[in-house]
Amino acid sequence: MYGGITVLVPVFSAVATLLASVPGANAAPASQCYNWKNVRIGGGGGFVPSIVFNPGEKGVAYARTDIGGAYKLNSDDTWTPLTDFATGTDWNKWYVDGLATDPVDTSRVYLLTGAYTNSWDPNNGAILASNDYGATFTTSTLPFKVGGNMPGRGMGERLAVDPNNGSILFMGARSGNGLYKSTDYGSTWTKVTSFPNPGTFIPDPTDTDGLNGDIIGISFVTFDSTSGSLGTATPRIFVGVAEKDSESVFVSNDGGSTWTAVAGQPTGYLPHKGVLSPKENVLYLTYTDGAGPYDGTAGYVYKYNISAESWTNISPENSTFGYGGIDIDLQKPGTVMVAALNEWWPDANMWRSTDSGATWSPIWDWSYPVLNRYFGYDISSAPWLQDPNSGEDYRKLVGWMIEGLSIDPFDSNHFLYGTGATVYGSKNLLGWDTAHNFTLQSLATGIEETSIQGLVAPPTGPKLISAVGDITGFVHNDLDVAPTIGFKNPYWATSLDLDYAGNKPYSIVRVGSDGSGETKQIAVSSDYGVTWTEHEGAPDYTNGGKVALSADGNTVLWRTGSGNVLVSTGANTTFSDVSSLQPSSVIAADKKNDTIFYGASGSSFYISLDSGATFAVASTYTSSTSNPVKIVANPLTSGDVWVSSDIGLFHSTDFGATFSAISTVTRGYQFALGAPPTTDGYPAIYLVGTVDGSVGVFRSDDTGVTWYKINDDAHGFGSPDSVPVAADQNTYGRVYLGTNGRGIFYGDASCTV
């Protein structure tokens, strides 16, 4: 007896024993309808490069994100996702590098999508066109790549609809591909060969195949609606280019047939935004010395008087930062707002002018050491955005990475802007002018843009615990309420994995990705993740990877980011190398026996009977070449263990001595075991993978004999190999899916099968 469980330990041999495959049907799996909702983190949780209001219809606005698709604003200030249909075949549609709306035919909206322009992204970009406010889209594939998550993604907009003739669009490309034009609502595109300069600026020419090693290209396209009349092509178009060595703003006065550099323009900086004030006949521009969104140490704000053909420097300050977001109030000509792109300390600043930039008032200023903030602050919809105990020096209330700033064209009191973490805005903006005070709110409800790295659903305690990129992670007691605070002490920007102790579920371990050496990158909790303690036995400058926690919480097994496997038994005991387990192995702990761990590498399955100190090959779980993805131990039974791999799903009931292949599964990614369909039944299995030729999310209630597909065409969850899975152990049918850009979903069956 050990921990109340009788364990029959088999004799292991390096000689594989593989049982016959479990028989399965050849027909595609039946579908079961599921209701999918986001686990609410709130606040967005990621970078929102741009927000675009439609100037032709009140209340129509959209936000684009760098990894989480596009959203439409609702009348109650919430947001609806538009691109959740993306799957593993078109995952790059979640990366939006440009967005345009039609100010006349206001139901039309267009997205410029694509992830990376590097050689390691094989996918060309696409234009998604909708004529029903984003409810549905048609796709036109482009002949080049698009960089929705590349440097310069906050510039824009690169995509624009002719305000006088909506069938015409112009698009600025990256990588030196130049300017393109469509005359059929974005269905087909032709290169504008007369455009003189596609841009030469590369953030870091030495980063030859990295994120910073490509040409940024065209930064914005802006039509001058006043130069034409409705029904005909707009003659005057301005185009900004990421160029430092020569002119960077060009104009056409014949609808894009010919182009010239705008005379008298500043040089040496990159134009990020170009916004037209039609009643003033002025183009307002922001400039920065970097592509953004992270860099920028100097910049300017200029206005160009189109009639007088004159430039004026209207910068609020001689900055040590660049300028990013800018917009004008269409209801109040001469009212302009502009934001610092990156003013990292003490906070990003923002300025407002009511006299066309002659004078400015800031959102905050110094009476050193006091920071005078001229706004109230409301983050009740996402309390975790600020830690009340962090201290004034760390309270960045205005934000950072501010490129998308937009004033509602129908409501001067309403504006929105994106940051690296949320969408802020106000419904009483005019208070800035009258009382030099207004209320700044997080207005991102519905935007869930986090990159989920790991999930666990313990059998007791909170419903879910998450490891999250950039914003560390959370304990989710209520799936529909935003957490009040994220993981602290230690705080790492990104937590990469979690595990709980099977017999003591309140014991949790997590691993971080901070390689600075300032904190140990293993932390443990004894209260379901509410509070944490650094594991003092973790080596410095070691981070990342995956973790497994023994059933009683005594031992941590850690496959580090570099692939080495380490183990620590006892509180704060120094980690030691596990040389008997192959580097980069997949690891897991038995959920009932505190001394047993599992590993998999290639086609070999390993077991440790001495708390991870040594491992031996228990079997070959498949006779074919295989790359294992995940090991899941049955939370109810010791020795009952599953392995997913790039060739299938495999099951053992004897500690890995023998395995059965689930014949209907030909590819397995992440998976989990959850509450059984009947009392004392076998846990339900939830799998992201390929079953009988169908790719998706599946559930089996009979150990893999029968499968039901539980996702639909509206919920593709992006790339399947980046979807962490956890299953509720108390509610049958409930599964949790993490995504790379759309946060966490939870699904419940909404019909019977």
Q: Is 9 domain-assigned?
A: no
Same domain, 56 and 73: yes
pLDDT (tens digit per residue) in 643-674: 999 999 999 999 999 999 999 999 999 999 99
Same domain, 208 and 276: yes
**Of the candidates 682, 684, 714, which has an alpha carbon nearest to the alpha carbon of residue 696?**
714
Same domain, 116 and 234: yes
Q: Which residues of the chain have pLDDT under 50?
A: 1-25
- How many angstroms separate the CA atoms of 652 and 703, rounded? 11
- Residue 343, preceding peptide bond in cis (omega within 30° of 0): no
pLDDT (tens digit per residue) in 355-377: 999 999 999 998 888 899 999 99
Q: Is 8 domain-assigned?
A: no
Catalytic annotation, pick one of 66, 102, 214, 728: 66
Residue 481 token pair: 């309420």
Q: Angle 332-337-342 (CA atoms, 0-180°, nearest 5)?
A: 170
Residue 3: per-residue pLDDT = 38
Final residue in a domain of this structure, among 392, 408, 442:
442
Same domain, 473 and 430: no
Q: Is 4 domain-assigned?
A: no
Same domain, 169 and 199: yes
Residue 14 token pair: 């390096």
Q: Is 300 domain-assigned?
A: yes
SS3 for 47-89 is: CCCEEEECCCCCCCEEEECCCCCEEEECCCCCEEECCCCCCCC
Kindly report the pTM of this predicted structure: 0.95
pLDDT (tens digit per residue) in 440-469: 999 999 999 999 999 999 999 999 999 999
Same domain, 435 and 459: no
Q: Is 12 domain-assigned?
A: no
Q: Which class for 23: exposed (0-12), middle (13-18), buried (19 or more C-beta within 10 A)? A: exposed
Specify the residue for token string 């593993």: 88
Say if residues 112 and 124 touch (Cβ distance below 8 Å). no
For residue 685, list its beta bridge partners. 673, 700
Same domain, 214 and 123: yes
Same domain, 23 and 54: no
**Of the candidates 561, 534, 549, 462, which has an alpha carbon nearest to the alpha carbon of residue 499?**
549
Same domain, 423 and 455: no
Say if residues 659 and 19 touch (Cβ distance below 8 Å). yes
| CATH number of the domain residue 398 falls in | 2.130.10.10
Q: Is 122 domain-assigned?
A: yes
Same domain, 118 and 254: yes
- How many angstroms separate the CA atoms of 726 and 458, rounded? 9
- How many angstroms separate the CA atoms of 401 and 94, rounded? 19
Catalytic annotation, pick one of 77, 470, 646, 692: 470
- How many angstroms separate the CA atoms of 400 and 291, rounded? 15
Residue 659 token pair: 């395995």
Cα distances (Å, whole numbers) of residue 677 to 35, 58, 630, 688, 733: 18, 49, 23, 19, 8
For residue 139, list its beta bridge partners. 128
Q: Is 520 domain-assigned?
A: yes
Final residue in a domain of this structure, among 442, 474, 507:
442
- How many angstroms separate the CA atoms of 551 and 483, rounded? 28
Same domain, 458 and 413: no
Same domain, 291 and 362: yes
- Report the run of H or E that residue 565 belongs to, with start and end: strand 565-569
Residue 172: per-residue pLDDT = 99
3-state DSSP helix/strand/coil % of the chain, to nearest 5: 5, 35, 60
Cα distances (Å, whole numbers) of residue 571 to 537, 545, 622: 8, 20, 37
Specify the residue for token string 């006088």: 164
Q: Would you call 66 a catalytic residue per the annotation?
A: yes
Final residue in a domain of this structure, among 442, 462, 485:
442
Q: What is the largest CA-CA distance in the chain?
A: 90
Q: Is 171 domain-assigned?
A: yes
- Return the DSSP state at 683: P
| Number of domains forming the structure of the chain | 2
What's the domain range around 578? 17-36+450-749
Kindly report the number of other CB atoms within 10 A of residue 190's CB atom: 9
SS3 of residue 721 by DSSP: helix
